[in-house]
Amino acid sequence: MQEVGSNPHRTTLKDVAQVVGLSVNTVSRALNERPGVGEATRQRIKAEAERIGYVPNIHARSLVLGSRQTIAMIVTNLFNPFFAELVSEAESRAIEAGYTLLLLLSEESEDREVAAVAAALRSGVDGILAVPVSNDSHAYDGLTRAGLPLVLVSRNIAHLNADLYANDNVSGMRMTTHAVLDRGATDVVLIEEDLQISTVRDRIAGFRLALQDRGVPFDSRNIVLIPTRRSASVALPWLPWQAEDAHRVATDLFERGRRPHAFVLGNDHFALGLYAALRAQGLRVPIDVMVIGWGDQPFARYLDPPLSTVALPARQVAAHAMKRLLHKVSGSQEPPETLCIEPELIVRGSLPRELVLATGGQTP
Amino acid sequence: MQEVGSNPHRTTLKDVAQVVGLSVNTVSRALNERPGVGEATRQRIKAEAERIGYVPNIHARSLVLGSRQTIAMIVTNLFNPFFAELVSEAESRAIEAGYTLLLLLSEESEDREVAAVAAALRSGVDGILAVPVSNDSHAYDGLTRAGLPLVLVSRNIAHLNADLYANDNVSGMRMTTHAVLDRGATDVVLIEEDLQISTVRDRIAGFRLALQDRGVPFDSRNIVLIPTRRSASVALPWLPWQAEDAHRVATDLFERGRRPHAFVLGNDHFALGLYAALRAQGLRVPIDVMVIGWGDQPFARYLDPPLSTVALPARQVAAHAMKRLLHKVSGSQEPPETLCIEPELIVRGSLPRELVLATGGQTP
DNA sequence: CTGAAAGCGCTAACAC
DNA sequence: GTGTTAGCGCTTTCAG
């Protein structure tokens, strides 16, 4: 085992006690604002502690208290700005509550997810906030038995019945699909990454519901799932939602003679590739083809034409999730709760301004 | 103090010892793969420990070892994909080395940076990897005295003389500026965020060097610093490198009758706003104006025309930095080292393909 | 209001 | 090979 390069002698409670001429115990109580110490004594102790540079040893404290004041957040990747925002908000809330955030990245890999949970367990965190890799991930199964509070964020796990805080993907995609249908599109293609996650599943459900709402027949070929290619690069983590994938998929579609009226996408990045494919075909947005993205990334409004998209309540989701988790960490034992927050459709130039009567089916 | 909802009785080393009928010590040695235990005994102990669900108490372990096997990473924000990649790589390297990563976000605020360092200290990490908020941040001053290893990433702190691993911003921006000068531009505008950080300072230096290299006179008005507007939103963290800022700045320029030959930018996001401003003016890229971004974000190659930009060695930088930090954590006491890794210019449609002789000065 | 003593769970000396 | 003893720095009984 390596020698740890720590200080020769960090000043300890005992040192403070010696300096002020009181017992370790009294000093501890004074410093922790607990009753049983005279105010004058307390002040003197604090001053002395400060003076000789006393810093409490968190390890000893954690040992006796059984808590490290740390939350682990397991996220699939940081590339998706939605996740970055989730983490940013979670970190901020954790700090606010006197906790710190241990970040564990699963990089969309089930193996790394299992490793992440193990690391969280090993490192003695007080609770786990997780965006699972898949809808049937078993990485978290042992947690409740181990007594570690868990809250899921953004993606659900079917068999787990855990707390879940997420975007409302069903209603979001339903709203999105309505938006194109109500502008006259009847041949609408949905492009999604082929991941076994609840968000994709829910968006597909929302898509189908919307068609049903407007009486437009569903054609399963209108849902294009981009095959994952995890093996593509071994060294670098694999990333979903690549613009080039959408570019390829759209180009394929056009080459097979298909020309949908509208595309609704599972991610704004898809719009980048799609726009390129449309330009190559000489198709104009929104006149020939309508496009709606997902996630309202910063570049969306600057595309030409500006991309209509769905703004996600990332900070709200994370804030609620962290609040819930901290509540559970402090011993609350309520039954699992699911909260899906409605996203917001942002209409920009990639959609025609005026609504038209549906052409393909009866009006609702 | 809140009751922590931990298990009634986690199985401990003592429990294992009791079950196998050996001393706590022997069990500890067996489980930790240390010599002094018979192989048969070791196997039996491991099996029993596994069976009764023994999980080592990290708090006790940390206390006696004086280490939490955790590295704190203090980053200004996650919104910039460069930082996201830094964090991703750092996390991966940390895990690989048996450490975990505590993420602390300063959100470009000096106050939060100070709080982050305090949190890191309080939470007993073994070392700190930091992207400082400013070139003269004093948040880290006490660290060496406290015996906590520190390695800076991406941005330097002038007075600190700490280890630094970063992009080579000087040579990167020099190369970028050469690229436009050598294509005939003589009136080149650099747009940067007005932050007091070494990266901006270095890129400005590289810009001036490039002009000097080609004998093009320097006009200080050709460096446009976007005034920071931290107060804009109190609730949400402030974010630099906004497309709209570049849009505004460029529009101002055009309205004042300026029409530079080329723009070199401190961030790809600026290109989004700039492209929009150029479109509004009816200026074509690259025929009328050349543009080079910084960071090679995923959208860059999908802009119209595709954005030339500088690809940053984020993973290399983070990997080197983490390696160095872990080395220091294990007690190494070498003098501070600075490593600047050369970024790569990626030429795309926003630059004319052919080089021309410099028009403004002598050829080198 | 203050102190003494015990112990959190683990590792590290040193003995046998 | 294995057990005994001590102690990491702190909090928490329980006495005074």
* pLDDT (tens digit per residue) in A100-145: 999 999 999 999 999 999 999 888 899 999 999 999 999 999 898 7
Mean pLDDT, to the nearest integer, of B165-177?
A: 98
Residue A25 (CA) to nucleotide D12 (C1'), in angstroms, measures: 9
Burial of B222 (0-12, 13-18, 19+ CB in 10 A): buried
Our CA-based measurement puts residue A269 at a distance from the nearest CA of chain B, in whole angstroms, of 7
Which pLDDT score is estimated for B77?
A: 94
Determine the Cα–Cα distance for residues A326 and B96; give it in Å rounded to an integer: 29
Which pair of structure tokens corresponds to residue B25?
A: 């010590």
Q: Does position B356 have pLDDT exceeding 80, yes or no?
A: no
Residue A63 CA, nucleotide D11 C1', distance (Å): 10
Nucleotide nearest to A26 (CA to C1'): C2
CA dist., res. B125 & res. B148, Å (int): 8
The CA distance from B124 to the nearest CA of chain A, in Å, is: 6
CB contact under 8 A, A5 and B331: yes
Task: With CB atoms and an 8 Å threshold, state whether B95 touches A115.
Answer: yes
Question: How much is the pLDDT for B364?
Answer: 39
Is there a contact between B79 and A57 if contact means CB atoms under 8 Å apart? no
Q: Do A105 and B91 touch (CB under 8 A)?
A: yes
**What nucleotide is nearest B27 when CA is compared to C1'?**
D2
Q: Which of A1, A6, A69, A241 to mutate to test the interface with B (most CBs of B within 10 A)?
A: A6
Q: What pLDDT is recorded for position B9?
A: 65
What DSSP state is assigned to residue B296?
-
Which residue has the closest alpha carbon to D3 C1'? B23
Across the interface, whether the CB atoms of A123 and B77 are under 8 A apart is answered no
Q: The tokens of B114 are what?
A: 């100070």
Chain A residues with beta carbon closer than 8 angstroms to that of B73: 103
User: Residue A292, by phi and psi: left (phi above 0), alpha (psi -120 to 50) or beta?
Assistant: beta
Of the candidates A155, A145, A169, A168, the one whose C-alpha atom is nearest the C-alpha of residue A74 is A155
B-chain residues within 8 Å CB-CB of A7? 146-147
What residues in A contact B331, CB-CB < 8 Å?
2-5
Residue B302's pLDDT is what?
96
Q: Which residues of A324-359 are buried (b: 16+ CB within 10 A; e: fewer)?
A: bbbebbbeeeeeeeeebbebebbebbbbbeeeeebe
Query: Per-residue pLDDT for B3 more than 70?
Result: no
Contacts of A70 in chain B (CB under 8 A): 102, 123
Give the confidence band of B152 by pLDDT, cuts at 50, 70, 90. very high
* Structure tokens, A67: 């808590």
The pTM is what? 0.91
pLDDT digits (tens, 9 = 90+) for B293-322: 999 999 999 999 999 999 999 999 999 999
Check A58 against B123: CB less than 8 A apart. yes
Label residue B362 by pLDDT band (50, 70, 90).
very low
Domain residue spans of chain A: 13-56, 68-167+314-342, 169-313
Tell me the CA–C1' distance in angstroms for B142 and C6: 36
d(CA B88, CA A278): 33
Tokens found for residue A84: 């970055």
Nucleotides of D under 7 A from a protein CB: 1-5, 7-13
Cα(B102)–Cα(B123) distance, integer angstroms: 9
CA distance B248 to A143: 51
Of B5, B100, B242, the CB nearest to A119: B100
The residues near A360 (Cβ < 8 Å, ≥ 6 apart) are: A181, A186, A214, A215, A216, A217
Considering only CB atoms, A6 lies closest to which of B66, B115, B302, namely B66
Low-confidence ranges of chain A (pLDDT < 70): 1-9, 229-236, 356-364
A1 C-beta less than 7 Å away from strand C? yes
- Cα nearest neighbour of A72 on chain B: B102
Coarse DSSP helix, strand, coil percentages of chain B, rounded to the nearest 5 percent: 40, 15, 45
Asked if the domains B13-56 and B68-167+314-342 are classified in one and the same CATH topology, the answer is no
Residue B7 to residue A146, Cβ atoms within 8 A: yes
How many residues are recorded in chain A? 364
> What architecture (CATH level 2) is domain A68-167+314-342?
3-Layer(aba) Sandwich (3.40)
Q: What CATH architecture is A13-56? A: Orthogonal Bundle (1.10)
Which chain A residues are closer than 8 Å to B322 by Cβ? none
Per the listing, tokens 């407007």 go with A214
> Which residues on neighbouring strands pair with residue A165, listed in sequence order?
A153, A339
Predicted local confidence at residue A328, as pLDDT: 94
Tell me the count of A-B CB pairs closer than 8 A: 197
Q: Among A6, A62, A77, whose Cβ lies nearest the Cβ of B59?
A: A62
The three-class DSSP label of residue A320 is: helix
Q: Which nucleotide is nearest to A25 (CA to C1')?
A: C3
pLDDT at B360 over 80: no
- State percent of chain B over pLDDT 90: 70
Tens digit of each residue's pLDDT (9 = 90 or more) over B114-127: 999 999 988 889 99
Distance in Å from C1's C1' to A8's CA comes to: 35
Fold of B169-313: Rossmann fold (3.40.50)
- B113-CA/C11-C1' distance, Å: 36
Instruction: At B128, list the tokens.
Output: 């700190």
Closest residue, by C-alpha, to the C1' of C2:
A26
Digit-coded pLDDT (tens) for B318-351: 999 999 999 999 888 899 999 999 999 999 999 9
Closest Cα in chain B, distance from residue A157 (Å): 23
Average pLDDT (B277-288) is: 96
Strand C closer than 7 A to residue B359 Cβ: no
Cα maximum dimension of chain B: 89
Strand C footprint nucleotides (protein C-beta < 7 Å) = 1-5, 7-14
Determine contact, residues A165/A151, Cβ cutoff 8 Å: yes
CB contact under 8 A, B2 and A57: no
Strand partners, A340: A166
pLDDT digits (tens, 9 = 90+) for B47-85: 888 888 887 888 888 888 888 899 999 999 999 999 999
B296-301 long-range Cβ contacts below 8 angstroms, 24+ apart: B296/B268, B296/B346, B297/B81, B297/B268, B297/B269, B298/A242, B298/A243, B298/A269, B298/A272, B298/B81, B299/A243, B299/A269, B299/A272, B299/A299, B299/B268, B299/B272, B300/B268, B300/B271, B300/B346, B300/B348, B301/B348
**Predicted confidence (pLDDT) per residue in A292-318, tens digit:** 999 999 999 999 999 999 999 999 999
Buried b vs exposed e over B29-48: b needs ≥16 C-beta within 10 Å? bbbeeeeebeeeebeebbeb
Amino acid, res. B199: T
**Number of C-beta neighbours around residue B255 at 10 A:** 9
